[in-house]
Amino acid sequence: MRLHHGTNIPTDWHYLCVVGRERKFRKNEALILDVEDIAFGGKGIARITTDKGPFVVFIQNAFPGQKVEARVVKCKSKHAECRLEEVIQRSPSEVDHGFQEIPGAPYARVPLELQHKTKEKTALDLYERIGGVDDVQSVYEGFIASPKNWHYRNKMEYSFSAIVHNPKTKEKEDGFGFGFKKRGTWWAVENLNGDSGLYDAQVENFMPTLRGWFEETNLPAWHPPKREGFYRFLVARRSEANEKLLFNLVTSSDGLESFDRQAFVELLKSAFGERLQGVIHTINDDKGDRVEARSGDSELVYGQAFITETLHELNFDIEMSSFFQTNPACAERLYAEVIAAVSASDDASTGSKPFHTGEYIMDLFCGTGTIAQMLARHTGKEIIGVDIVEQAIIDARKSAKNNGTENVQFHAADVGKFLLEFPEYKGRIKSIVLDPPRAGISPKTLRKVIRLGAERLVYVSCNPATQARDIVTLREFGYELKRLKLVDQFPHTAHVEAIAVFEKNLKASNLDE
């Protein structure tokens, strides 16, 4: 069994792809493929003719018109799934963009108009095919583009590695890597030598200088297969509101006595001046390849441990580990749509019942209360924010107090037990806003949401595939899809978000626990 340089990842697995009784592909086998089409989630489609008929191959992050080298990850009787290794020939539709190419922007060369059309087409297909929406165009109200097409991210994570991918030779070399993981690997880093077009131009153009400084300390980059070294990650946050920067350098403790933290701070101060809000140093001795340490400490070594972001005239203090929308400018547009959808429940022209005193709007999975506060500020209604994570609710209450938002109440509670714990809200929840994580809502939790009996659900999804799946259950219990919009929160990727509005036309049935 042959191994990649410096790793324990085999290049020849003895798993075979079978078409009928014919052995087709080995797992991890490299294939040269012409990409013909694309499915939702950025899965490029290639087809191979066999005596049993067309054999479909899906290649993540490939685009129609490309010739690619891909490696087999999974193989079944009628299709295979591959990871993209390299684009051998570009699609005729692709254009140069002037930034360094990185794995996090696989479609940066694809014109934005074509990106939008592709996301729209593949996402809407899900609602018809999985959600059973017969005429999705009758409820679809359009595609919302990001206000910023480049430099839209407010957070970026850079990795160190003692194994460096050389983009010219395509080889893995021993060295000091500082940038992004090479697509398809967890052990090799491709150096970032300039602006990627996604984050902050000043920060990323400074990366070669920063890498040189790290190397001159004579402390090693982390070696993922050996699980040893000093430098592990650098995480950067930027405020869209005031351009302030917050950095978190993650290292191990092995060699800590030789590291001059103050010199690192002075380097950042000289580079970014008044933009530098704070510098954090995190010790992470976990063997796992992740920023968050299960054991170890984070220490603020300069400035403040947060940046402040402003959305819809509300201020939010964001710490390094806090969840917050990665594209704040586009998040404002998304939240505006949510506010409008909730407000429409008080509009007679929609055919829904008007909002009465004593009725509430509920923000489920509210986290630190971003949406709940905006709803409170812009609708003037009474808002209930609910999340099972107690610390998130503590942070939400603090944020609401700082913003002077009074018509909002936050509760740390389980969705299914909420009305038992707070019976005063029974029959008084007018609308519910849902913004679950990417995995979506579990079937059991969705039924708990239905039991709350709201007349309107505004369902924000960062994964239309799971939202389309949930349409079937919502329809079964009397909720009809009325409106649908798509939002491009992440240009140059396959990612797209959706806002769906459901109204209860029938009394929801009683559901078993």
Catalytic positions are 462
By the 8 A CB rule, do 195 and 99 touch? yes
Cα(436)–Cα(423) distance, integer angstroms: 24
Residue 66, phi-psi category: left (phi > 0), alpha (psi -120 to 50), beta (remainder): beta
The residues, any chain, with a CB within 8 Å of residue 129's CB and separated by 6 or more, are: 468
Sign for the CA dihedral angle at 386, 388, 392, 393 comes to: positive
Reduce the DSSP state of residue 344 to 3 states and report it: helix
**Phi, psi dihedrals of residue 454, rounded to the nearest 5°:** -65, 150
Q: Within 13 Å, how many C-alpha atoms sit on residue 450's CB side?
A: 28
By the 8 A CB rule, do 283 and 293 touch? yes
User: Other CB atoms closer than 10 Å to residue 147's CB: what's the count?
Assistant: 12
Reduce the DSSP state of residue 511 to 3 states and report it: coil
Cα(272)–Cα(266) distance, integer angstroms: 10
Tokens 């219990």 correspond to: 477
Contacts 24+ apart (CB under 8 A), 263-270: 264/213, 265/301, 265/302, 267/210, 267/213, 268/302, 269/302
Cα(177)–Cα(23) distance, integer angstroms: 39
Cα radius of gyration (the chain): 25
Reduce the DSSP state of residue 156 to 3 states and report it: strand
Helices 464-476 and 112-129 meet at what angle, rounded to 10?
30
Nearest to 431 by CA among 512, 375, 478, 390: 375
Cα(183)–Cα(162) distance, integer angstroms: 16
Query: What burial class does residue 279 get, using C-beta atoms within 10 Å of its C-beta: 0-12 exposed, 13-18 middle, 19+ buried?
Result: buried
